[in-house]
Amino acid sequence: MARLPGSYSAELPILVVGTDHHHALLELRERVAYDPRETEDALVGLIAMPEIEEAVLVSTCNRTEVYVRHHDGLDAFQQSLETVFLARAPEIGEEGRFFVKRGDAAARHLLSVAAGLESMVLGEPEILGQVKQATVMAEQLGTAGAVLARLARSAAAAGRRARAETQIGAGAVSFGYATVDLARNIFRGLDQCSVLVLGAGETATGVARSLLERGAGELRLANRTRERAEAFQREFPTAQVLGFDERLGALEAADLVVAATSAPEPVLRRDDLEPTLRQRKGRPLLIVDLGVPRDVEPSVGEFGNVFLHDVDSLKQLIEHNLKRRREEVAGVEAIVDEELERFAVWFGGLEAAPVVAQLHRRAEEIRQREISKHRSLFPDTTHDQLDVLTRSIVRKILHHPSAQLRESAEQENLRHLAALKDLFRLDDNESDTK
Amino acid sequence: MEAVLDAAAVLLPLAYLLVAVDYGFLFFGNRSFLPGGSSLALRIVLVAHLGYLTLLAAHFQHFPAANVSEALSIVAFSILAVYAIVEWLGNETSTGFWMVALAFLFALGASLMSGSTPEDRELFRNPFFFGHASLALLSSAAFAVAASYAFLFLRLYRELKAGRFTLFFGKLPPLEVLERMMSGALLVGFIALTGAVVTGFVWAFQVVPGEFFKDSKTVATLVVWALYAAVLLLRRLRRWQGRETAIASLAGFAFTLFSFVAINLWLSDFHSFN
């Protein structure tokens, strides 16, 4: 049986057990990937266990993680691991195939995941939506209560801020978006760009999809085979399909050419392009050649205002963007720290109520003890007034500190709470109050 | 009053530098360190500089272009004003670092050359002087702005051509926008220079008929005018594209700077400020 690493001592009663691209290969990750229906079943199963109070399951192609709020950390860990992972793939129990984090580290992990710090492609945006989706499902099922729902909101805030305040999500990291990136650095607006796609394979279709998602204007396709062209047009009904021989004529109006055919020889040659370029009167032309072997003669890039990029060049751009993203990690970690602190403050505020109640109880006990000790000094007829008066004094003395404690626990940090517990020895027995 | 003007002459370039550094932080680090951001600081410096020029004009009772320091100060102010308008219209701060840094160089030059009291000549109160000098300085500022956009255009153009991506990539406006800004600034500069040449001729015919063609500054200005006219014509005829225009813009500005410095500092004749 897998053991919880280290001793369980964290104050925050949260635990995450999971596996991701750092710990398991795709073959193993696939077996513990949960679709929405399976997620529901797993969550209902977890919440039925007495040691688990709340549960959220995040399952994507790169990670499966279960977050639980628990009464008993060790038991909750064992139950989560067995229910979510070992029941489907016992090999995950082997050393290094899964991870477990507890307390602050577990909370920080969810915030880092939402901010894109744990993603296979650093800063990728989809994970934020996936975390939100997982939380909504758990809330609807009733398995996410106050604490995990609040933690998920902190994670969403960290994710949003990371992308708004840093460049962690900036720059393209796929061929499709790298093409969009290049176009945005050349043309005034992608919506005014006329795109000509040569080839209707998977690569060409993927790039065309990215361009249209980002608002590219006109889309035209020149392809050799009719079947693939028809399939392309089914996916992009607004696209105009041309015969492959019409490609040179179509170049005159094109701003961006995506060439991704499987032709063994170049389909755009310098000599073919020269007369067309004269008619374009110097308008910039971006050619992205994703063919291997190349679809465009490299010397085409020597023409003025023609920007020719091949697979290697796009890879360089992607690596450049990833480097920029890596430089933003420290900034994102600072945001995660801030949001984690806010969550801790909120969680501390949750604990303020019992401390305040304890303080009032302690004061009332002292009042009653002192009243009974000195009651004989006062006439019988005044005992009721004496009771009302002392009760009022105690209430008035404690009113402001109690309000202040609740407020500071919500807005600042947990120091006041800790100081009060220490000063009044609220965790100790009654013996000290004599 | 002179103490205030002296203090302003020292403080203004420092303010320009501060704003340029802030725009630099914005460009390279995506964060501004000044409260209120770079744009607010830019507007404050612009207003302060306008106040300084107004004080200069009030104090010396002439349009403040009576010596090299004052002329450089006007050019710095004009560059900043042109950039502030571009930023406001396009909501585009990515070229701020380069424009404000350029304006800072002119403001620094103005500060280093300040100190001497400008000559009190009737000429400086002549309306022709105001028209001629302000158009000439506006053209210098516009050509400086065009040269800056040309520099940025060439940087981005080379990166896009070579497929080697540096810090510039993704942080500048697209090539088409840089080209449009460069061409717009060239056109404004050329129109202002044409106005300066025309007002200069009319005025010189009245003051020194037959002599002004021997003036080195007049000759240099006509060469600059012809150079920019050729650039704009070739562009209009679509013989030149962005890259050629950018190179010519940089060359034209380098020549303008050289003639401005060389003639005003080393040659002495009737058209020199000195």
pTM exceeding the 0.90 threshold for the entire prediction = no
Phi–psi pair at B166, nearest 5 degrees: -120, -165
Question: How far apart (Å, rounded) are the C-alpha atoms in residues A272 and A257?
Answer: 15
Q: Is B46 on the interface with A (CB under 8 A)?
A: no
**A contact residues 28-57, partner B, Cβ 8 Å cutoff:** none
Hey, how many other C-beta atoms are within 10 angstroms of the C-beta on A375? 13
Q: How far is B228 from chain A (nearest CA, A)?
A: 20
Count the alpha carbons within 13 Å of A86 in the hemisphere toward its beta carbon.
Answer: 13
Residues of B in contact with A185 (CB under 8 A): 156, 160, 169-170, 172, 174-175
State how far the alpha carbon of A211 is from the alpha carbons of A127, A177, A218, A286, in Å.
22, 7, 10, 13
Looking at residue B181, its amino acid is M
Task: Kindly tell me if the per-residue pLDDT of B129 is higher than 50.
Answer: yes
Contacts of A298 in chain B (CB under 8 A): none
Q: Is B163 on the interface with A (CB under 8 A)?
A: yes
Closest by CA to B228, choosing from B187, B270, B168, is: B187
Q: Is A263 exposed, middle or buried (0-12, 13-18, 19+ CB in 10 A)?
A: middle
pLDDT confidence tier of residue B207, bands split at 50, 70 and 90: confident
What pLDDT sits at residue A282? 82
Greatest extent of chain B over all pairs of C-alpha atoms, in Å: 59
Q: Which residue has the tokens 């229910």?
A: A83
Return contacts of A24-27, CB within 8 angstroms, 24+ apart: A24/A92, A24/A97, A24/A98
Residues B1-31 have pLDDT tens digits of 778 888 888 899 999 999 999 999 998 887 8
Residue B188 host element (H or E): helix B175-207
In chain A, residues with a C-beta closer than 8 Å to the C-beta of B242 are 282, 284, 305
For the segment A172-230, what is each residue's pLDDT rounded down to a tens digit?
888 999 999 999 999 998 999 999 999 999 889 999 999 999 999 899 999 999 888 98
Among A188, A305, A307, select the one facing B241 at the smallest CB separation.
A305
Which of B160, B165, B243 is opposite residue A186, by nearest beta carbon? B160
The answer to whether B30 contacts A166, with C-beta atoms less than 8 Å apart, is yes
For residue B132, the model assigns a pLDDT of: 87
- How far apart (Å, rounded) are the C-alpha atoms in residues A312 and A290? 9
Rounded to 5 degrees, what angle do the CA atoms B44, B50, B52 make?
105
B63 contacts B127 by C-beta, under 8 angstroms: no
pLDDT of residue A375: 86
Decide: helix, strand or coil at residue A66: strand
| Buried-exposed string B207-231: b where 16+ CB fall within 10 A, e elsewhere | eeeeebeebbbbebbeebbebbeeb
Contact A58/A67 with Cβ under 8 angstroms?
yes
Strand partners, B228: none
Closest-CA residue to A125 (of A163, A175, A177): A163
* Whole-number pLDDT of residue A20: 93
β-strands A194-198, A218-223 pairing: parallel
- Report helix, strand or coil for A18: strand
What type of residue is B271? H
Please choose, from the candidates A191, A193, A174, the residue with its C-alpha nearest in 3D space to the C-alpha of residue A287. A193
Classified as helix, coil or strand, B167 is coil
Note the pLDDT of residue B47. Answer: 96
Burial class (CB in 10 A: 0-12, 13-18, 19+), A103: middle
Predicted pLDDT at A270 = 94
Query: How many angstroms separate the Cα of A130 from the Cα of each of A47, A86, A122, A139?
Result: 21, 23, 15, 14
Residue ranges, chain A, pLDDT below 50: 1-10, 412-413, 428-434
B256 contact partners, CB below 8 Å, separation of at least 6? B140, B143, B224
Q: How many CB atoms lie within 10 A of CB A6?
A: 9
**Minimal C-alpha gap between A303 and chain B (Å):** 10
* B33 to chain A, closest Cα gap in Å: 14
pLDDT at A350: 65
How far, in Å, CA of B155 to CA of A141, rounded?
A: 56
Is the Cβ–Cβ distance between A367 and A397 less than 8 Å? Answer: no
* DSSP letter (8 states) at residue A103: T
The per-residue DSSP string of A343-404 comes to HHHHHHHHHHHHHHHHHHHHHHHHHHHHHHHHGGGS-GGGHHHHHHHHHHHHHHHHHHHHHH
A234 touches B at CB < 8 Å: no
CA A84/CA A41 separation, integer angstroms: 10
Encoding tokens for residue A46? 């977890």
What confidence tens digit (pLDDT) does each residue in B165-201 have? 888 888 899 999 999 999 999 999 999 999 999 998 8
pLDDT at A1: 38
Asked if B73 and B48 touch (Cβ cutoff 8 Å), the reply is no
Confirm or reject contact between A170 and chain B (CB < 8 A): yes
The ipTM value here is: 0.84
Q: Which tokens belong to B227?
A: 């150079």
Check residue B8 and give its pLDDT.
86
Q: How many CB pairs under 8 A join A and B?
A: 53
Which site among A185, A277, A285, A296 would you substitute to test the B interface, given the most B Cβ atoms closer than 10 Å to its Cβ?
A: A185
pLDDT tens string B219-273: 888 889 999 999 999 988 877 888 999 999 999 999 888 877 777 666 655 455 4
What is the pLDDT, as a whole number, of residue A325? 92
Distance separating alpha carbons of residues A75 and B232, to the nearest angstrom: 79
Q: What is the pLDDT of residue A2?
A: 40
The DSSP bridge partners found for residue A195 are: A219, A256
Residue A196 contacts residue A184 (beta carbons within 8 Å): no
Flag whether residue B125 sits within 8 Å of chain A, measured between CB atoms. no
pLDDT of res. A77? 92
B-chain residues near A316 (CB < 8 A): 163-165
Instruction: Convert the pLDDT of each residue in B34-67 to its tens digit.
Output: 888 899 999 999 999 999 999 988 888 777 877 8
Torsion A182-A185-A191-A196 (CA) sign: negative
- Residues of A marked as catalytic: 61
CB B60 within 8 A of CB B118: yes
Give the residue among B138, B135, B120 at the shortest CA–CA distance from B62. B120
